[in-house]
Amino acid sequence: MELWYTERQTPYAGITCLVRETLCHFRTPYQELAVIDTVQYGRMLVLDGMVQTTEQDEFVYHEMIVHVAMQAHPDPRHVLVVGGGDGGAIREVLKYPSVESATLVEIDEAVINAAKEYLPAIAGALDDPRVRVLVADGIQHVRENQGKYDCIFVDSTEPVGPAVGLFAEEFYAGIYRALKKDGLFVAQTESPFFNRDLIKKVFARISRVFPLVKLYLASVPTYPSGLWSFTAGSKCYDPETGAGRPVMTRYYNAEVHQGAFRLPVFVRELLEDS
Amino acid sequence: MELWYTERQTPYAGITCLVRETLCHFRTPYQELAVIDTVQYGRMLVLDGMVQTTEQDEFVYHEMIVHVAMQAHPDPRHVLVVGGGDGGAIREVLKYPSVESATLVEIDEAVINAAKEYLPAIAGALDDPRVRVLVADGIQHVRENQGKYDCIFVDSTEPVGPAVGLFAEEFYAGIYRALKKDGLFVAQTESPFFNRDLIKKVFARISRVFPLVKLYLASVPTYPSGLWSFTAGSKCYDPETGAGRPVMTRYYNAEVHQGAFRLPVFVRELLEDS
C-alpha cells in the first residue's frame, strides 16, 4: 500500500508526496499537528494541513528569514523569534558569535515538543544556553518588551488561526517599539504567485510603520508555488546591504543576499501598487 | 465529479491540480501529448506526463530562457530555437527589433499544431513573417548550419525520449559551430533541487566546448521544485551582463538578469564539483 500526503495549497492545486510513516498526529489547543516521514523531503512538520518545514528544504527558509537581517545589522546581540517553534530560525541566529540572547516566543508548546522529538537537526539549537524559550503570545510579548531587540523575526504560519494577528498593522507597530533605535525585523510573507493581495497589504502596513521596507525572495520547493517572500522593516540599516560576515550556510551567501532583492517585474508591480 | 491531474515529478513527489477539461490527448510519433484546462494554471501542455508550459506561469520560463542571451548579445539578428514547439521562446525573441530571422526547429509537428490551436497566446508569434518553422531534427539542423546564428536556445523537454541527444556534448559542439564567431546559447537544464547530477554533467560538457559558461536560475511554479536552471555557453560576451535594452516583460528585467546569476551555496557547489 502506498500512502500519499497531498496539501491543497490553493483550492485548485497542491503538492503530493509519498509517505513512509506518520510519526505523530494530534490536535493541540491551537491547531492540528502532524509529523510525517516522506521519501522525497524527509520528515515534514504539517500544521492545519499545511507544510511548515521539511528536513530537505528547511535550510532555505530558515537561512533566508534570518541571515539577511543579521547581516544588515552591524552587531546583533539580542534577537527575538515570534512563532518558529520548530527552532530552525533560532539555529541560524545562533551562528553569530555576537548574539548574547535569542528569545523564542511560540504560542503552541506542542510544536516545540514535536520538533524536539522528531526534528532534532532543526530544533537542537533550542537547548543552547543563550536561548530562552517562552510559551506565550508573541503579540503580548512584543507589547511588553520595548526597546529591547536588535533583530526580530516573525516566523509565522499562514494568516489563519493563531497567526492572524501576526499580519496586523498594530503588531508591526508593536515590533517597531520592541526594537532598539537601530533595529530591524523580517516577516515571512507568503508566495508572490499565490498571495498577491496579502503581500500588497502587508507591504503597505509595514511601510506605514517603518521608514525602510524591502521585500526579498527565496525558493522553497515545498511551499506554495516554490517561490517565497520575506518583508523586512528597518529603522535605519538598509536590509539589502549585508556585512558579508562569514557564516556556514547551504543557501544564503553574500551574493544571494543581493540577488534576493532583485525582483521580477510582476512582484515589483505588486509593491508599487500597494 | 472532480478530476485532478497529478504529475509525479520524481517517483516520490509531485504536483496536482484540478482539471476543468481535457482539450486533446493523443500519441504523436514521438510522445504522448495532452492539453488540459486547469483551474489554477489555465491551459497546460503535457508531454509524456510532464508539464511543459501553462498559461499562468509560461512567462517566467520563456522570458528567462530568451532575454538573458538576447540582452548579453549586442545585436542579435539571426536566432535559432531548438525544440520549443509551443512558440513561447520565439515570441520573446521577436520582441527585439534587431531580429531579422527566428528559426524554430521542432521535431514533433503535433506540438506546434496543438499549441497553435489551444495555446494561441503562446504560439501566436509563429505566424510572424520573420519566423521560419522547420519540422526537423534539431541535432541535424545544427550540424548543417554552421556560423549562422547569433543566439541559439535549446528549449527541450527533459532528457528522456527525443530530447536525450540535446544534452550530449556532441550537440553542444554542434551549437558552437552553428553560432557566429561572437554567438552564445542557452539551454534549459532542469531543477537544482531534483537534477543535481544532470546539471553537473551538462555544465562540465558545455565547459569543454565554450570558453564562457554560466548557470542562472528562475522560479517556475509548475516545474519540479519550482526552481529552474538555465546554462549559457558563450564565445565572447559575458551572459551575466545585459545591455538593458527596453523590452515588455512580466518577470525579466535588468535587475533580475543580474540577480539570476547570484547562486545559492548548494548550487554554486554543484558547479565547482563539475
Assess whether B207 and B237 both reside in one domain. Answer: yes
CATH number at B171 reads 3.40.50.150
Assess whether B23 and B84 both reside in one domain. Answer: no
A244–chain B Cβ distance below 8 A for any pair: no
Three cell numbers, residue A149: 531587540
Place of cell 549585508: A242
Helix residue spans in chain B (DSSP H): 58-72, 88-93, 109-118, 120-123, 138-144, 169-178, 196-209, 254-259, 265-273
Contact A193 B263 (CB under 8 A): no
Facing B15 at nearest CB: one of A15, A38, A250? A15
Three cell numbers, residue B114: 496543438
Distance CA B20, CA A158 (A): 28
State pTM to two decimals. 0.97
Give me the residues of chain B with pLDDT under 70, please. 274
Contact B258 A259 (CB under 8 A): yes
* Closest alpha carbon to B3 in B31, B34, B47: B34
pLDDT of residue A159: 87
| Residue B155 designated active-site | yes
Q: What residues of B are in contact with residue A228 (Cβ under 8 Å)?
A: none
* Closest alpha carbon to A16 in A44, A251, A191: A44
Q: Write the DSSP assignment of A22-40 as a string of letters.
A: EEEEEE-SSSEEEEEEETT
Assess whether B119 and B245 both reside in one domain. Answer: yes
Instruction: Give B260 to chain A, closest Cα distance, Å.
Output: 7
Catalytic residue among B57, B108, B150, B155: B155
Contact A258 B259 (CB under 8 A): yes
pLDDT of residue A273: 72
Assess whether B193 and B257 both reside in one domain. Answer: yes
Distance CA B60, CA B153 (A): 15
Assess whether B68 and B49 both reside in one domain. Answer: no
Q: Which 3 state secondary structure label does DSSP give A208?
A: coil
Q: Residues 217-236, chain B: which have Cβ within 8 Å of A?
A: 217, 219-221, 225-227
A3–chain B Cβ distance below 8 A for any pair: no
Nearest residue on chain A to B222, alpha-carbon basis:
A225
Summarize pLDDT for A58-108 with one digit per residue, the tens. 999 999 999 999 999 999 999 999 999 999 999 999 999 999 999 999 999
Facing B263 at nearest CB: one of A12, A14, A255? A255
Facing A16 at nearest CB: one of B6, B219, B225? B6
Residue B113 vs residue A158, higher pLDDT: B113
pLDDT of residue B100: 98
Q: What residues of B are in contact with residue A57 (Cβ under 8 Å)?
A: 193
Contact B256 A262 (CB under 8 A): yes
Q: Residues 190-219, chain A: which have Cβ within 8 Å of B?
A: 193, 217, 219
pLDDT of residue B35: 98
Q: Which domain holds residue A147?
A: 58-273
Nearest residue on chain A to B13, alpha-carbon basis:
A17
Section A254-259 average pLDDT: 98
Assess whether B87 and B111 both reside in one domain. Answer: yes
Assess whether B122 and B140 both reside in one domain. Answer: yes
Q: Which residue, among A4, A6, A16, would best test binding to B if mutated, counting the most B CBs under 10 Å from its CB?
A: A16
Distance CA A225, CA A15 (A): 9
Assess whether A121 and A249 both reside in one domain. Answer: yes
The burial class, CB within 10 Å (0-12 / 13-18 / 19+), for B113 is middle
Summarize pLDDT for B206-258 with one digit per residue, the tens. 999 999 999 999 999 999 999 999 999 999 999 999 999 999 999 999 999 99
Q: Which domain-ending residue is among B54, B78, B97?
A: B54
Place of cell 533541487: B193
A162 pLDDT higher than 80: no
For chains A and B, what is the number of CB pairs under 8 angstroms? 124
CATH number at B8 reads 2.30.140.10
Assess whether B82 and B25 both reside in one domain. Answer: no
> Which amino acid is it at B88?
G
Assess whether B31 and B160 both reside in one domain. Answer: no
Assess whether A112 and A145 both reside in one domain. Answer: yes
Nearest residue on chain A to B17, alpha-carbon basis:
A13
pLDDT of residue B233: 98
Neighbours of B1 (CB within 10 A): 2
Number of domains within chain A:
2
Distance CA B66, CA A264 (A): 15
Contact B251 A265 (CB under 8 A): yes
Are A14 and B15 within 8 A, CB to CB?
yes
Assess whether B81 and B42 both reside in one domain. Answer: no
Q: Residues 27-86, chain A: which have Cβ within 8 Å of B?
A: 38-41, 57, 60
DSSP state of B130: T
Section A38-50 average pLDDT: 97
The pairs formed by B156-161 with CB atoms below 8 angstroms and a separation of 24 or more are B156/B82, B156/B83, B156/B187, B156/B188, B157/B31, B157/B47, B157/B48, B157/B50, B157/B52, B157/B83, B158/B50, B158/B190, B159/B190, B159/B198, B160/B48, B161/B30, B161/B31, B161/B48
Please, what is the average pLDDT of chain A?
A: 97
B244–chain A Cβ distance below 8 A for any pair: no
